[in-house]
Structure 1
Amino acid sequence: MHSNISLPGLEAFIITKSFERDGYYQLHVELKREPHHCPCCGQITNRVHDYRLQKIKHNHLFSRSTLLFYRKRRYVCVNDECKKRFYEKNTLVERYQRQSREFNQAMSLELIGGKNFKDVASRFDTSPTTVMRRFDQIGLSMLQETKQLPEVIAIDEYKGDAGGEKYQTVIADPIDRKPLDILKDRKKETLKAYLRKHGGNVKVVVMDMSPSFKAAVDQA
């Protein structure tokens, strides 16, 4: 029997089964069958070619680690000269990913305040390698080039082991709760040069009492 309960990230989905197994809360979900435009020729089609069951790691639900089993529909174009096969559009998971969008967004926010990769991985029941990849994705694709920092910023160190450096420095906006930039290391000279270039508007800095951070802020 289908469930119509609404859960974060699953508002558009039909829950066909739910149960607990092997320490995970497992949900089987699917989308309503709807016409789609062929990405190749633009022809509208509602013809289903086949299905694939995709296992996806999701945010904790009801205080339990959660796995989703998405019955993903693949359509086929009805244009006899095209016959393109393509998967339905969905808001749950990006292509080639094994974690839901909600999971990745929550992990990205946690990266701002987490102690290190191992700590965040433990909170999300995943591997430190997965968290490190997400950290790199933030640095490469989610962070825009910072020209001027806002009036209030937060500075913290992060154990990242990237670029040969054991620690990096995260610059964040504590008001809007979002990362602004990631510096290659936590050295005083690196932070000082960065603040001199981008910190003309900064009036308040939230940080711990790290001597390196304090010296950099004072000198910038």
Structure 2
Amino acid sequence: MPISDFTAKLLELEDVIIKDISSSDTEIHVFFSLKRRPHTCPHCSSVTEQIHDYRTSIIKDIPFMGKKTFLHYSKRRYHCTCCGKHFYESFPLLPKHCRITTRLAFYSIHLLKNRYSVHSAASLLGISDSSVFRRLKDICYPKPSSLPKVLSIDEFKGNAFGYRNFSNFRNRIFLALT
């Protein structure tokens, strides 16, 4: 088994061809491409293997050995012989139009479970706060099967709506709920 296969398993990058790895005190750069295979055109659904060109994308990944990890992905752009359109090959670790891997995005959410703030988790991983918030929107929570019978109010203004007496305000809320 070649050394690049062990490195791919260590980085959890299956079906990749690792070309080079460079490392410094704070960063790891992995240069790779995917194995060539036929792709289906998203426009006309025909199968093509004709490559139009290559582009390099720099993708942020989860930290490895305490260092920031950057994946330099040499992605192929295919040419469809039927409709003449160009399209990129699919890469499962990277959503469309993203520059961070899905595992980095969900690792940032995992840090939030450990009582990190959104800002501190984002700055630790080198991503923006809005990236963390976008991934929070991807998490689906089920609707509750039943609602509670008691409503609790955490903060309110005691003299709101002209109610100077708190007990009068409390009684109005209680009557509105029953």
TM alignment of 1:55-134, pairs within 5 A: 55-79=58-82, 82-124=83-125, 126-127=126-127, 130-134=128-132
Instruction: Summarize the Cα distance change of 1:117–1:75 in structure 2 as closer, same or farther, 3 Å threshold.
Output: same
Instruction: Summarize the Cα distance change of 1:108–1:8 in structure 2 as closer, same or farther, 3 Å threshold.
Output: farther
Instruction: Summarize the Cα distance change of 1:12–1:119 in structure 2 as closer, same or farther, 3 Å threshold.
Output: same
Specify which of 146, 151, 154 is matched with residue 143 of structure 2: 146
Q: Deviations over 1:82-134 (max 9, x none)?
A: 1111000111211111111111121122122233123212432x14xx13432
The answer (yes or no) to whether the contact 1:35–1:44 under 8 Å persists in 2 is: yes
Give the gaps of 5 or more residues in structure 1.
150-187, 191-220
Give the gaps of 5 or more residues in structure 2.
147-151, 155-178
Q: Please, what TM-score do these two structures have when normalized by structure 1?
A: 0.59
The answer (yes or no) to whether the contact 1:2–1:15 under 8 Å persists in 2 is: no
CA drift of 1:61 comes to: 1.5
Instruction: Summarize the Cα distance change of 1:115–1:61 in structure 2 as closer, same or farther, 3 Å threshold.
Output: closer
CA drift of 1:31 comes to: 0.3
1:27 pairs with 2:25 = no
Instruction: Summarize the Cα distance change of 1:77–1:136 in structure 2 as closer, same or farther, 3 Å threshold.
Output: closer
Instruction: Summarize the Cα distance change of 1:133–1:101 in structure 2 as closer, same or farther, 3 Å threshold.
Output: closer
Relative to its length, the structure with more helix (as a share) is 2
1:73 match: secondary structure: strand
CA drift of 1:34 comes to: 0.3
Q: Deviations over 1:8-57 (max 9, x none)?
A: 44122221100114731100011001001111111111110001100011
> 2:17 matched to which residue of 1?
14
Larger Rg over CA atoms: 2
The answer (yes or no) to whether the contact 1:76–1:83 under 8 Å persists in 2 is: yes
Query: In percent, how many aligned pairs have the same letter?
Result: 28
Relative to its length, the structure with more strand (as a share) is 1
The answer (yes or no) to whether the contact 2:106–2:135 under 8 Å persists in 1 is: no
Letter in 2 for 1:189: I
Letter in 2 for 1:39: P
Output the aligned Cα RMSD.
2.5
Partners of 1:62 and 1:132 lie apart in 2 by: 26
Letter in 1 for 2:33: E
The answer (yes or no) to whether the contact 1:56–1:68 under 8 Å persists in 2 is: yes
Q: Deviations over 1:174-193 (max 9, x none)?
A: xxxxxxxxxxxxxx626xxx
Instruction: Summarize the Cα distance change of 1:102–1:8 in structure 2 as closer, same or farther, 3 Å threshold.
Output: farther
The answer (yes or no) to whether the contact 1:54–1:71 under 8 Å persists in 2 is: yes
> 1:3 matched to which residue of 2?
4
The answer (yes or no) to whether the contact 1:2–1:16 under 8 Å persists in 2 is: no
- Count matched residues: 147
Partners of 1:69 and 1:48 lie apart in 2 by: 19
